[in-house]
Structure 1
Amino acid sequence: MYHAGVGISGASGATDRLAPGRYLPEWIPEAVSRHASDVDMLPAGSPGKVGLLDLAFERIGGRTELTGHYQKAPLHIARPLYYDPELPDTAYVMLMSSGGGILQGDRYRIDVSCGEGTSVHLTTQGATRLYRMEQDYATQLVELTAGPGSYVEYLPDTTIPFGGARYYQRIGVTAAPDSTVVLGETMLAGRLAREERHAYTAYCSDIEVRDTGGRLLFADPLRLVPEERTVTGPAVLDGFGVLSSLYVVTGAQPAQVVADAMHEALAGTGLRAGAGVLPGDRGAWARILGAESPEVEAAFRRVWDAVRRLLLGVPAPDRRKQ
């Protein structure tokens, strides 16, 4: 079941995965792409600079099993765990990187296919650090497919852009009409403990969710380029140090009911936060702003827990990092 650097049954071969068209974004915001250049270290596309993960899950014998697995360093996973007594059929998978962070010239791609009736929780081993980039830039592509009746959570830890980082990330989701996808994204304004705030060069991300026919349900672009325009105004991060978002794409409950549950969970946090309905009533989303990570993480967990209780009737488990 576990293979590193090779293809397995039911998946495309390693040669196709290593084609540049697989791991290079079709489009990159100009704020990032204008920094394209050769690097003195290993160039983009070299071994160790292209990280790939391709995972497939199916429901077998009453629980979700990992049935397809391809990985290329520095990306890899730990063996799926089934530690939540409330949802013993759910596979909890930790996405890991042997590099300790993302460097200039890195190109990562993660594909996860969740079949009919599966229940999958995806997280990362810890915060994603975007190191200083004096040459070129870094990108990451994430593609999630949620099959009929599946429940998929993608809740990576916080992204921390160091001074000089240039980064573009695209998260694409294809969701079946009766699936549920819970998607989270959190970023710091920088290394706050070192008083390094908005010292990155460019932090850009796109989230796009589509139905199985390819129709766009909603998109949420983020463009933070401190040298060009303020990122501390009321429409962006204001004076806060942490920005967190949670998107719940579902038809299991009316969109307004989901939004109300998320809003109620945030009401007592004292943070700048709120929730609303996604376009087309396909679910709800919440955004949280705070000064420091612990308070935002606590609020994020409260919202996630409220969503779990509403949609699944169970609380959110501890997010194990071991």
Structure 2
Amino acid sequence: MTQCADISRVRRARENLERLGRQAPELRAFQNEPAQMPSGAVGKNGYLRLEFTAGNGRSELSFMDRRVPLLAQRALYWDEAMPRMPCVFIISTTGCILQGDRTALEIAVGENAQAHVTTQSAGKIHMMNANYAAQWQELVVEKGGYLEYMPEPMIPHRTSRFFSRTDISIAGGGSLLYAEMLLPGRKHHHQDELFGYELYSSSVRAARRESGQPLFAEKFILRPGATDLTRTGVMNGFEIFGNVILLTERDKALRVREAAGAAVGPELAYGADLLPQDCGLIFKVLGLRSEAVREAIRQFWRIARGTVTGHDLPEKFLWR
């Protein structure tokens, strides 16, 4: 693995974050600067780029560039079901997300390469009294490539404001599994923590790698102070939200949808549907317990991986 600075990419990522922060209507009320340290200052402007290529008998993490507070150390091959696939943990040197933080993540999976990327722990979005935190993610999968980007859940603390934008570029014959899971806050910590955050905004856009043709776009904006999230049509009494996107060939997506099924119960509801342009599936989960939502996502992950790659999942870590 080689490491060298690519200042143009870092500058591009920072400019994207600044532009998105200025243009997003939901962030207009949160442009004031923190008193402690300006937004996007050194130590608050993280950047991480990971490039994976197909090597001799296995895929490899061939390039990495990083800026604190984002960090990754090296690729490991701990997945016994897919021992030739590199697995990378993204680490936060601060251990949390603070007001004024700006982070950018770029993951590129080359032709016929494979990769699994996750985070060290849940993302804890701390309380805020100024500005907001933002992340921009760019995921690129070339022909025949396979990427699993499965970060741990996000936990927004009360009064927090968080903005996320994910851009996906995927080539024909490539496959991507992307998941996000949102908890309602630290509901056992304080009476105002349950849906106590001010803003959570997340959007995902995907395009075809060869032509730039848009495939789909999804955005949800949660403002608990303005809308009762527990009402019918939003969370409907549930508290935890899981969102999984599988981009792959149509025949594989249809098989995954049939095997995944759907269910609605008092503590858990889930189901999958086709995305536009025959580009894949979207899988939604609502639940009352994080363990149940995580398990529903894991079962969908197992079905998707088995259908796309022919491999099963490894046993769960006891500590995750």
TM-score computed with the length of structure 2 as normaliser: 0.92
CA distance in 2, matches of 1:165, 1:206: 18
Q: Give the Cα–Cα distance (whole angstroms) in 2 for the partners of residues 48 and 319 of structure 1.
A: 33
Q: Percent identity?
A: 29
* Preserved contact between residue 25 and residue 141 of structure 1 (Cα < 8 Å): no
Q: Within 5 A, what are the aligned runs for 1:181-196?
A: 181-194=176-189, 195=191, 196=193
- Are 1:143 and 2:141 counterparts? no
Residue 88 and residue 269 in structure 1: after superposition, are their counterparts in 2 closer, same or farther (change >3 A)? Answer: farther
Query: Which residue identity does 2:54 align to in structure 1?
Result: R
What code does the residue aligned with 2:297 have? Answer: F
Within the alignment, does 1:26 sit opposite 2:9 as a pair? no
Are 2:199 and 2:222, in contact at CA under 8 Å, matched by a contact in 1?
yes
Q: Secondary structure at the match of 1:256?
A: helix
Greater shift, 308-317 or 174-183, is seen at 308-317
2:249 is the counterpart of 1:248 = no
Q: Is the 8 A contact 1:132 1:163 kept in 2?
A: yes
Aligned partner of 1:296 in structure 2 is: 293
1:229 CA drift (Å): 2.2
Which one is further off, 101-110 or 233-242? 233-242
Q: Do 2:2 and 2:62's aligned partners in 1 also have CA atoms closer than 8 Å?
A: no
Q: Is the 8 A contact 2:250 2:279 kept in 1?
A: no
Q: Specify the code of the residue in structure 2 equivalent to 1:183.
A: Y
Q: TM-score, normalised by structure 1?
A: 0.91
The structure-2 alpha-carbon separation of the partners of 1:110 and 1:248, relative to structure 1 and needing over 3 Å to count, comes to same
Counterpart for residue 306 of structure 2: 309
Q: Does 1:91 align with 2:86?
A: yes
Q: How far apart, in 1, do the equivalents of 2:253 and 2:306 lie?
A: 15
Shift of 1:85: 2.6
2:204 match? 207
Q: Which runs of at least 4 in structure 1 moved beyond 4 Å after TM superposition?
A: 266-270, 319-322
Amino acid at match of 1:274: G
Contact 2:52 2:108 in 1 (8 A): yes
One-letter amino acid matched to 2:227: R
- Give the CA deviation at 1:268: 9.4
Unmatched 5+ residue regions in structure 1? 8-12
1:319, distance to aligned residue in structure 2 (A):
5.3
Is this contact kept in 2: 1:109–1:142, CA < 8 A?
Answer: yes
3-state SS of 1:233 partner: coil
Measured at CA, do residues 34 and 276 of structure 1 come closer, stay the same or move farther in structure 2, by a change above 3 Å? same
Aligned-residue CA RMSD (Å) = 2.1
- Secondary structure of the 1:24 match is helix
Select the residue among 226, 229, 235 that pairs with 1:231.
Answer: 229
Q: Write the distance in 1 (CA, Å) between the matches of 2:17 and 2:267.
A: 41
Q: Give the C-alpha shift of residue 227 in structure 1.
A: 2.0
| Correspondence 1:155-166 to 2 at 5 A | 155-166=150-161
C-alpha separation between the residues in 2 aligned to 1:170 and 1:125? 20
Residue of structure 2 equivalent to 1:257: 255
Return the letter of the residue paired with 1:61: N
Give the aligned length.
314
Contact 2:238 2:267 (8 Å CA) reproduced = no
Following superposition, the deviation at residue 295 of structure 1 comes to 1.1
Query: Mean alpha-carbon deviation: is it higher for 221-230 or for 197-206?
Result: 221-230
